[in-house]
Each structure stands twice: as C-alpha cells, then as structure tokens.
Amino acid sequence: MSELQQIFDTVNIGLVVMDRQLRVTQWNRWMYQHSGIAAEAIVGSSIFDHFPQLNTPGFQKNCKAVLAFGNFSFFSQKLHRYLFPFKPVGSFGAKFEQMQQSCTMGPLRGDDNAINAIFIVVQDVTELATYEQKMTEMSIKDGLTGIFNRRHFESRLAAECERHQRYGRELSLLMIDIDFFKAINDGYGHQCGDHVLKSVSAALASGIRTSDNLARYGGEEFCCLLPETGLTSAAALAELLRKRVEGATLSHESDEIKVTISLGVSELAADDTPHRLLKRADEALYRAKKAGRNRVELQEGVNPQVPEFESAPA
C-alpha cells in the first residue's frame, strides 16, 4: 500500500472520489466504517446505486458545476444536515437520528489540468451540532420547567402581534398563576415547589397545540400565546387547562398535593400593542385571584361568561 493510500484510509474524515459519470473510484476506510459498504462493493458503480437519495437536481447541478468550471461546493450542516445517511457515533448523537455532516465537493485535475474526477470530503460534526443545539435551547428555554423563558416569549409576542395585525388574524393571550404557591414552598419546601412548577408546566404544555407558545413568565406565573385563536376559544381553552390542573394530584416524596391555577385572557385588538395585550391579560388574572382564585376571567369590556369544551381547539 502506498503512503498516499495509507493516509487516504487512516484520516478521520470520509473521502470519496467519482469519475465524470459519477461512478465511485475511491472509497476510504472511514466511509466503509460508517456505511457498512466496503470499497470493493461500491467502486465502479454509480454513487446513486447505493445512495439514491443523492439523485436530486440540486446534487447533480453541483456535480456539473464542479466538472464544468472547477467550482467548489459546500454542503453545510445547518442547511443540509447531511449528505450520507449514517448513524451518529457516541451518546452526543442522541438528539439526531442521522450523523450531522459538513461536506465539501471539489474537482480533481489530471496532468493536463483537465478535470477528470470529483472528490467529496465528509466531516462528522454531530458533536458540534449537538452543542450548538443545547446552547440554543439554553437561550430560549427555562432551566427548571423546560418550556420557553420570558425573554423568548416576549420576542415571540412582538413578532406574533405584528404578523396578526398585518394580516388581520385573531390572536389571544393567557396569563396563568399557580394559586397559593408561597404556601406550598413554606409548607413543603422549595424542592416540592420546583416539582409543582414542573408538573403544572407539563400539564399546561400537554393541553395546547404545537403552534401555541407557552412560557414561564416569572416565579409561579406562566403566559401562553394562542395564534389564530379568538377570545371565545381562548377562554374555553383556559377553562380546560384550569380543570386539568385542578383534577390532578401531585405526589412529592410522601406528600400528595392539590394545586389550582387562576387565568386571565385577552385578545388582540385593532392597533393594539404587545404591552396592552399583556396588560389586559394581567388585569384579568388579578380579578380572577381577587374573586377567589381557581377561575378564569376575561379582559374587561366583554361578556364574562366562560364557555366550556372538551378538548383544545384544533
């Protein structure tokens, strides 16, 4: 084996060489280890015979550009995730079903400077992608409950208000508070209080749509933004969430705890602002707590009757 071949087979990256007809001429050991396809089984055949998902107009266009003009093409992980569907290696790949890859395609020239082949370099960046994903989650998620934090919620609130004002669509907001939370902390301890916060946030999250935005707004207070939802449907959802929490019994160590929540509901009005939408929900929440807690109150100026329904709006 030549020195060049030894390097080709021992480097910790994938190396593939294809001729002008996109037949594989070189396939290094790294590619074999992650694909399970030996060089003897793939060399001489089209790359598409073994990886048909690469046979797309975009991939072929990049190959043609490399062969015609000597261009380099880059397939970044952020845009493409991967070229070759390999399983991730190690525990850091747990969040990804496929190895995340950063790939480079370029020309190989002969002695006459003519382009007679294409190379592809495949780099495993799953660990880096996992780290970046975790950092992103840390910047937008509440560390205790795992739902969105206040900063991210306020940015979503501003964006959704602008979008719904532009298109004249409905948008509602729930402000939610755990009743007598201080008494829980004082009576059972702060570890129990944390357990209650996580359990209530999980109950709320399980009762809303994926398009809704639930956040821990501060302490024992939560906010939920409901796109494409009017006040009547938002009030019905609020009542459903109230009943869901009231009906649950939370267990912590040897203690069983009953928890209730109070909710205020507001709806985006013409020429409204995020601040006013939030303020009206907060005022409604205050009235709910003043009226005895474990109840839903709507923004002022509307029929105070809260409708009921059996499931969250679709």
Same domain membership, residue 289 and residue 160: yes
Same domain membership, residue 264 and residue 118: no
Does residue 162 belong to any structural domain of this protein?
yes
DSSP state of 105: E
Task: Supply the pTM of this predicted model.
Answer: 0.68
Confidence at residue 310, expressed as pLDDT on a 0 to 100 scale: 46
Q: CB neighbours of 91 closer than 8 A, spacing ≥ 6? A: none
Does residue 123 belong to any structural domain of this protein?
yes
The residue among 77, 99, 132 that closes a domain is 132
Residues 157 and 224: their CA atoms lie apart, in Å, by 10
Residues 243 and 49: their CA atoms lie apart, in Å, by 57
Confidence at residue 7, expressed as pLDDT on a 0 to 100 scale: 82
**String of b and e for 83-121 (b: at least 16 CB within 10 Å)?**
bbebebeeeebeebeebbbbbebbbbeeeeeebebbbbb
Residues 241 and 205: their CA atoms lie apart, in Å, by 9
Beta-strand relationship, 73-75 and 115-124: unpaired
Same domain membership, residue 274 and residue 146: yes
Same domain membership, residue 154 and residue 54: no
Q: In which residue ranges of the chain is pLDDT below 50?
A: 309-314
Confidence at residue 92, expressed as pLDDT on a 0 to 100 scale: 64
Same domain membership, residue 183 and residue 88: no
Does residue 312 belong to any structural domain of this protein?
no
Catalytic residue among 132, 170, 220, 267: 220
Beta-strand relationship, 73-75 and 221-227: unpaired
Q: What is the CATH number of the domain that holds 276?
A: 3.30.70.270
Does residue 313 belong to any structural domain of this protein?
no
Same domain membership, residue 294 and residue 145: yes
In DSSP notation, 192-224 reads: HHHHHHHHHHHHHHHTS-TTSEEEEEETTEEEE
Output the CA angle 52-6-10, nearest 5 degrees.
60
DSSP state of 273: -
Same domain membership, residue 210 and residue 153: yes
The residue among 132, 161, 183 that closes a domain is 132
Domain count, the chain: 2
Q: What is the CATH number of the domain that holds 64?
A: 3.30.450.20
Q: Which of 230, 175, 241 is nearest to 208 (CA)?
A: 241
Written as six digits, the tokens of 4 are 């060049």
The residue among 105, 132, 159 that closes a domain is 132
Confidence at residue 305, expressed as pLDDT on a 0 to 100 scale: 59
Range of the domain at 150: 141-298
- Per DSSP, what are the bridge partners of residue 27? 16
End-to-end Cα separation, the chain, in angstroms: 64
Same domain membership, residue 146 and residue 113: no
Q: Which of 249, 250, 259 is nearest to 294 (CA)?
A: 259
- Dihedral, CA atoms, 209, 215, 219, 221, nearest 10 degrees? -50
Q: Please confirm, yes or no, whether 297 is among the known catalytic residues.
A: no
DSSP state of 54: G
